[in-house]
Copies of this chain bind each other. A is one copy, B any other.
Amino acid sequence: MRATILTVGTEILFGQIVNTNTVFLSRELNAMGFDVMYHHTVGDNAGRLEEIINKSFDECDLIVTTGGLGPTEDDLTKETIAIAMHDELERHEESLKALLAYAERRNWKMTENNYKQVMMPTRATVFSNPEGTAPGFALTEERDGVTKIIISMPGPPREMKPMWENHAVPYLLKLQDSVISYKIIRTFGLGESAMETVLLPLIDAQTDPTIATYAKEGECSLRIASKRKTKEEADAAITEMLEKIKSYIGDYIYSEDNFDMNEVVGRLLLEKNLSISACESCTGGLFSEMLIKVSGISQVFDRGLVTYSNKAKMEELGVKEETLKTYSAESKEVALEMVKGLYEKTGSNICVSSTGVAGPGEFNGIPAGDMWIGISVNGDARVISISTGRDMREWNRLYCALNMFNEIRKICLDLD
């Protein structure tokens, strides 16, 4: 089935907002087997909106809209859809009740224009919105013997995404008479084109499940999707495909459930009750900052030191002045002394250090992207060298921090 994604909102045409809804919906629709033919964005203008709806239905059977469901005069998505689909609006009592309860919970006074938000097309299947004041809906109409569907949702991603998952997806699946299931696998250490090359035999042979790769800063995701009669069948097909994929690139997979690297490592540390401390030079606090995003991490994270100056490296970690002079602060020798000093100071089961040249430009003859990671496991210390060959400061720092996490992940798995 062919689909169009229609974003409504003048603020998008002004460039005030990045349209992330379209990315989300494109992925979802493609994974469900829809062919997304167009993305359109129009302002809050009834004439243009109606024209684009009718035009889209010439070629597509599904339109998914976001935005323009607010309480103000500008917001006319719903009114225009009702006209285009030959329906009318009436007050939706259930939505009104929900809106009143929402207002009471938040202790705010309803204004007259809030009532506009619970006016719904009479034939609509209404999607409740516990995250906000605007319900969404699905509305169908027969055109030349073909069922045309509009799904209309609010613009804020915080409201749109749960509505999509809890209402729109089940609604579409019921129409489709089949079930889509998918799994996102996260890998580290293998680029997207390298991964595609390795997996080519699987990708070329794919019909169902389908495999798609997505590159993301310094790492790569794989999406395995299957469309079958039942969820059990789809899940079984995905599991089978996952096993095949693992036989090719198993060593690079760090999550089979779409968790971020810091989340995976944080949970491993908590699970195994391993205390951790970090001292950072080139990553400058990024490792610590990512680690504390993990809920409950305070149980095992002792401390992080951003020893940016030589003075701090010496005072905090006992790095020797001679080592700094002989090898420079950006060296494997200093990475090692840093992590040894950190272990002496904290006694943490796992200690990690970073130093090197993030860029821009080389430093003391060391090219940008040459970095070192010190790792200490219960006092047993060693150094890992990284060389990205890229003069991209932010990217190098992130890549170094991800490597720190990945090394700790491997250690945690070995410490069984």
Interface residues of A (CB under 8 A from B): 7, 12-20, 22-28, 30, 36-43, 48, 55, 212, 214, 278, 280, 284-289, 291-293, 295, 297-298, 301-309, 311-312, 315-316, 345-346, 360, 393-394
Q: Are A302 and B312 CB-contacts (below 8 A) given A15-B22, A19-B22, A284-B292? A: yes
Is A214 a contact partner of B39 (Cβ separation < 8 A)?
no
Contacting residues, chain B, for A16 (C-beta < 8 A): 212, 214
Q: Are A14 and B212 CB-contacts (below 8 A) given A308-B298, A309-B303? A: yes
Is B288 a contact partner of A306 (Cβ separation < 8 A)?
yes
Bound CA span A295–B360, Å: 9
Contacting residues, chain B, for A305 (C-beta < 8 A): 303-306
Contacting residues, chain B, for A308 (C-beta < 8 A): 288, 292, 297-298, 301-304
Is B48 a contact partner of A43 (Cβ separation < 8 A)?
no
Contacting residues, chain B, for A40 (C-beta < 8 A): 38-41
A290 closest partner in B (C-beta): B285
Which 3 residue pairs spanning A and B have beta carbons closest together?
A: A15-B26, A304-B306, A285-B285
A270 nearest CB across to chain B (Å):
14
Contacting residues, chain B, for A288 (C-beta < 8 A): 284-285, 306, 308
Contacting residues, chain B, for A284 (C-beta < 8 A): 288-289, 291-293, 304
Is B311 a contact partner of A302 (Cβ separation < 8 A)?
yes
Is B15 a contact partner of A18 (Cβ separation < 8 A)?
no
Instruction: Specify which of B36, B55, B212, B316 is in contact with A303 (CB 8 Å cutoff).
Output: B316
Contacting residues, chain B, for A30 (C-beta < 8 A): 13-15
Instruction: Specify which of B24, B27, B39 is in contact with A41 (CB 8 Å cutoff).
Output: B39
Contacting residues, chain B, for A41 (C-beta < 8 A): 22, 38-40
Is A303 a contact partner of B301 (Cβ separation < 8 A)?
no
Bound CA span A14–B39, Å: 11
Bound CA span A298–B293, Å: 26
Is A20 a contact partner of B18 (Cβ separation < 8 A)?
yes
Contacting residues, chain B, for A297 (C-beta < 8 A): 308
Taken together, the copies of this chain in the complex come to: 2
Contacting residues, chain B, for A25 (C-beta < 8 A): 15
A61 nearest CB across to chain B (Å):
16
A23 nearest CB across to chain B (Å):
5
Instruction: Specify which of B12, B302, B312 is in contact with A39 (CB 8 Å cutoff).
Output: B12
Contacting residues, chain B, for A306 (C-beta < 8 A): 278, 285, 288, 292, 303-306
Contacting residues, chain B, for A48 (C-beta < 8 A): 37-38
Bound CA span A394–B39, Å: 31
Bound CA span A311–B298, Å: 11
Contacting residues, chain B, for A287 (C-beta < 8 A): 285
Instruction: Specify which of B24, B212, B289, B346 is in contact with A286 (CB 8 Å cutoff).
Output: B289
Is A15 a contact partner of B27 (Cβ separation < 8 A)?
yes
Instruction: Specify which of B38, B303, B315 is in contact with A307 (CB 8 Å cutoff).
Output: B303
A140 nearest CB across to chain B (Å):
23
A226 nearest CB across to chain B (Å):
17
A45 closest partner in B (C-beta): B37
Contacting residues, chain B, for A316 (C-beta < 8 A): 303
Bound CA span A218–B356, Å: 32
A230 nearest CB across to chain B (Å):
26
Extra inter-chain contacts (8) besides given A39-B41, A293-B394, A298-B309, CB under 8 Å? A18-B20, A285-B289, A289-B289, A292-B306, A302-B309, A302-B312, A303-B316, A304-B304
Q: Are A42 and B36 CB-contacts (below 8 A) given A285-B289, A288-B306, A302-B308? A: no
Bound CA span A286–B284, Å: 9
A401 closest partner in B (C-beta): B289
Contacting residues, chain B, for A23 (C-beta < 8 A): 15, 17-19
A211 nearest CB across to chain B (Å):
13
Bound CA span A304–B309, Å: 10
Bound CA span A316–B304, Å: 11
